[in-house]
Structure 1
Amino acid sequence: MDFNDIIGHDNIKNNLRNAIRNENVAHGYLFQGAKGIGKKRMALTFAKTLLCEKSEDNPCDTCPSCLKFESKNHPDLIVEKPEGKSFKKEQIDNIQRDIRTFPYEGNKKIFILEDIDKMTKEAQNSFLKTLEEPPSYVVIIMTVINSYSLLPTIVSRSQLIKFNQIENSLIEYELKNKYNKDEKQARFIASFSNGIMGKALKLCESEEFKVLREDLIEIIDDLINKEKFRVFTFSDFFEKNKENIDDIMDMMLIWFRDLLFMKEIVNEDLIINKDKISILTNECQKIPKDKIHDIIKVVKRTKNDINKKVNFQLAIELMLLKIQEV
């Protein structure tokens, strides 16, 4: 594992490598970005490079330090994440104690703290003292989805690095060349993942997601074909897959977006569900453009209502009935 194995985030990779080359590594880093976007992988690669005995800005993969790192047995790498919903006081105490202990090997000791926003305010205040005056050999890399929940002083004492979504084309290329997905599969997964490589890889390997998508497409097709008496049966699917409701609603929005694009006769390359083009073509002939617009509004409104914790079953049943009405 080295920087060349990380897809996208070129500016971040270059900045971190330059910091190592120029001996300008900060004591505290705050990696901010969506879940699955690559924060932890970047943190681990950065840590591995800092601990490497030979290389200047990329791990050599052959020195004793790199070998210990790959076997997850390096004494100077400490990775901590919340136990349950938050960091426990014992964890913070242990981290602070370990920070004051000299490296066992080399001249660096690296701490990777995941989901730092799950520290209580009390724990953040306690940890802040360490972050303000860390020993010279310590590098602390913290990850967070959003830094707004952190104490401003923790953010100001760290070098904030924001991870943005990577280009779909990079994800698509990776899925085709390393994970043997055909062009249509790779395109759908890349587009649905919204620039988040971790999500793409998870979906790529998930049989459950494939079944979920097929079942949903069948339900949408039945709704468009006015299978009126099955609406309440369809709602059981949503209830059963409640924990995946965000993905389900997003798939619905993408599906109707594709129908809209087909109505407008746009470039077929813009169609995300390209592997289901025959179903889309058939549905496109049965539903007017203005009705597709109405359905998209209904789905968006339902997604918003669900996020506001309204009655789930009622929201879903109303959505399904409205889709049939239009």
Structure 2
Amino acid sequence: MGFNDIIGQEKTVNYFKRAISNEKIAHAYIFEGPSGIGKVAIATAFAKGIQCKNYHEDACNICISCLKVNGNNHPDIKMIEPEGKSIKNKQIEEMQQDLLRKPYEGNKKIYIIKHANQMTVSAQNRLLKTLEEPPQYAVILLMSANSNSFLPTIKSRCQILKFNRMGQNDIEQILTSKYGMNQEEGRVLAAFSDGILGKAIQLKESDVFRIKREETIEVIENVLKKDPLVAFDAVEFFQKYKDDINEILDYILFWFRDLLMLIQTGSDKFLINMDKKNTLQKHRGHIAYERIGNIINIIEKTKNDIKANVNFQLAIEMMLLTIQEV
């Protein structure tokens, strides 16, 4: 894995390329962004480039240093992960003890701390001692979903780099051009990726995603039959996926958004659920155009109600009954 293998974070990649070329490498960085967005991949490429014996715009991939990175056994690059649910004080203490020894092969010792936002307060305070007086050869990379989880004193001693979500069209294009997916599959996965390429790739291999989506479409079909008993029966489905309720409600939102698009344009060109266009065409005949906007509003309201801790079952029942009545 090198810089040239990373897709969708060009601005950050170019920043690190310049840092290595100009020998302006900071002692500590916070990589902020959601899981799957490429933080660890870029951290590894950065570490590899720093240690490369023949670096030019990217690691050479043939020197002994690059080969050791590829084999996950470079002595001057260490990966630290949570033990259980947190990164503990003793793990940072062990890192500090290791940091007392100068690099074995290169000019830098690099520590990539995954899920660094899960450091205990005592671990953060211990890390702070290193950040206040780091050895010249130290480079510490903190991977985090949210930099606000760090003590202000840690944040002030790190360069913070935000990893941004990609556009849906960009992800779709990458999935079809680089990963060989057809347009229908790429469109669906890009829509449900939340702007994270890594998540889109994971969804492709996920039977759980496929099953949840199929079950959700079946629930929509049953609810549109307007039998109130069906609406109450469907509550069991939402209870089963209560921990994933935002995801399930998003499936439903995208479905009715597609129905709206289909009725407005008469074309399936802009559908998200392109692979389900025949089912959408069938549903189109069972629902009036003027109902769909209200249904979308009801689903959005339900998402907000659940977030505000309104009774879960009551919120879902009201949503399903209201969809039938609109």
What letter matches 2:143 in structure 1? T
Shift of 1:13: 0.7
Q: Deviation string for 1:161-183 (max 9, x for gaps)?
A: 11111232332233224433211
What letter matches 1:117 in structure 2? N
1:38 maps to: 38
Shift of 1:238: 1.9
TM-score, normalisation: structure 2: 0.93
The answer to whether the aligner puts 1:98 opposite 2:98 as a matched pair is yes
Moved more, 192-201 or 279-288: 279-288
CA contact (8 A) 2:93 2:126 kept: no
2:3 maps to: 3
2:136 maps to: 136
TM-score, normalisation: structure 1: 0.93
Gaps of 5+ in 2: none
Gaps of 5+ in 1: none
2:286 maps to: 286
CA contact (8 A) 1:7 1:170 kept: no
1:195 maps to: 195
Q: Any idea what SS the aligned residue of 1:25 has?
A: coil
1:257 maps to: 257
2:56 maps to: 56
| Structure 1 segments of 4+ aligned residues over 4 angstroms from their partners | none
CA contact (8 A) 2:89 2:122 kept: no
Shift of 1:311: 3.3
Counterparts of 2:203 and 2:35, CA distance in 1: 14
Moved more, 87-96 or 10-19: 87-96
Identity %: 47
CA contact (8 A) 2:82 2:115 kept: yes
1:219 maps to: 219
1:162 maps to: 162
CA contact (8 A) 1:51 1:106 kept: yes
What letter matches 1:54 in structure 2? N
Size of the aligned set, in residue pairs, is 326
CA contact (8 A) 2:32 2:161 kept: yes
Q: Any idea what SS the aligned residue of 1:286 has?
A: coil
Q: Any idea what SS the aligned residue of 1:85 has?
A: coil
Q: Any idea what SS the aligned residue of 1:221 has?
A: helix
Shift of 1:267: 6.5
Q: Any idea what SS the aligned residue of 2:265 has?
A: coil
Shift of 1:140: 0.7
What letter matches 2:68 in structure 1? K
Counterparts of 1:91 and 1:309, CA distance in 2: 37
Counterparts of 1:311 and 1:82, CA distance in 2: 34
The answer to whether the aligner puts 1:47 opposite 2:53 as a matched pair is no
Shift of 1:286: 2.5
